[in-house]
Structure 1
Amino acid sequence: MTKRHVSLPDDAEATLRGFVSAVDDRLAAASDPDELADAVTETLVDLHGARDAYESWQNDDAASPVEAARFANFDPRNATLESEYYAEKDEGAFARSKPLQWLWRQFDNTPLADNVAFALRFRRMLAGHLFADVGEGVRLFKGISMTYGHNIELGDNVVVHDDVHLDDRGELVIGDRASVSDAAHVYTHDHDLVDQTEVTNFRTEIGADARVTQGALVRAGVRVGENAVVGSRAVVQADVPDHHVAVGMPAKSVRVKPGWESVADPVEADHERRQDERRLDSEMPEDLDAFDEFQRDLTPPDA
């Protein structure tokens, strides 16, 4: 199926460019996390059309508890994210990425998020501030979630569709022209089999021109090869070779893409699991006050 170019009316296009440029400049001018949080707060106030009511609240005018909670929620400093609890995170990087991720999430709750032409350009601009690296022509659709954002690298012309989860507790790299379809999950961390509070982080890679299709799950430390395809709802636990098609639970290579046989490994080759090569070492703070949400005795009876 081919696509065609779609354009907004001239007035709407001018409005879009003006808004995205203004937010881009505001975020770029923020020199520290507090200034960035202020920029995000102001942007969300305007996105929700709450300027007059918000300023009245700021001036100590009366507001109901519900209104006060809504106004306070514009400020990322008044919010917590699940990733905030992760002890091994880079605190300096997270201090900057948290406000940006809050803007990402809250933008998707506004009507503008459904205006595809507007939303794609807004997210591409925001990704330039949030991600470790982002190429040209990237298209990022609605409902994408991430752990931090600052450990994600996207090449040129990458497409990530609706409701995809990009876990970057470790490192996630997606190559040029790769696509990740709706509701796929790509992971960079794994839990110990006995003690699920013990986490190991990995580098996960999706190669150039690869496709991870609808509802698939890519495990931490896996490499999906260049020009490879992961079938719908597949669970990828080992590397997918370049130019191969992998399907199933767990995913296994079933064929080479037609026309690529001469440059691809044969399907019956022994494709090793190379997760350990992409393991990332993490150091915990010396003064860590560890939080165990389960409070269980994990001593096996046969230990």
Structure 2
Amino acid sequence: MPKSVPPRQGTTGQEKIVLVTGGGGFIGQALLPQLVAEGWQVRNLDFIPGLFEHPAVSHWQGSFTNGDLLHESMNGVDCILHLASTHFPREANAHPDADAASGILGIIAMAQMAEDRGVGRIVLASSGGTVYGSPEQVPIVETHPTRPITAYGISKLAAEHYLRFFDTRGIRTLSLRIANPYGPGQNIRKAQGALTTFCHHAAKGLPIEIWGDGSVERDFIHVDDVARALVLAADAEAHGTEINIGSGQGLSLNLLLDLIRENGFKPDVVYQPARSFDVPRNVLAIDRARELLGWTPQVRIETGIAQMLQAFS
């Protein structure tokens, strides 16, 4: 249970309200308690209500693409933390038109409504793993060229551009380019997150499948650290820009297996032919997050893996 703190006050002396879209999802479940602990009044707009119950949290069941519901839930809101996504990466590639309708047009409609209703800030949970495409150098800084090669990355990048446009019109916006989040509560059925899948399969005695030789490097960040970055972004002075949220370190899939084995698990590993869309390395530079948010990751990968294996066992 979050600690008891006085409600966060706005400039008018009223309690500050944050609207979280997708607060019932993986990141949202870690985020809501942290927002409450910081004194926010929280509205969770999602299809999955009631996962986190607290007097400071109200649940609004439905989608952010429902204009009437969004309009109602936005009343008196100071900040929007937009986590909701109607499509996962694999689904977005299969249905790019539907992904664009919600991931781009849906963001525009939300930002226009926020502008009309006097919302002061919008923070987007973007994707550091897809908006850059194949990196020319690592670690990847925010000024690196953005050449996404997936529909999901394209819609996230377009949403970032539109938020920067609305920032010029008076809404303070930020886009957090999040690396590969992991941690307890991630849905194994959604085929997201190599680390989550590896830990689940190791704990359950299932074989682990790797595409390629296992040398691919990714940036893994614990969901509690992601949530803390979002909380800081809700109050940050910075706006009109993008900020990487990652560990700042690359880990190969083979090294992840070694860390799992150090916890006493001996999974069977099956190597498959490499996939053309898997970039060799994706590691985010996090200097801007340190400078603009005062944020650095706190959860060590060894701690996170042990936590995941215990949760699945």
Fold-level similarity (TM above 0.5): no
- Flag the structure with higher helix content: 2
Query: Radius of gyration: which is bigger?
Result: 1
TM-score, reference length from structure 1: 0.28
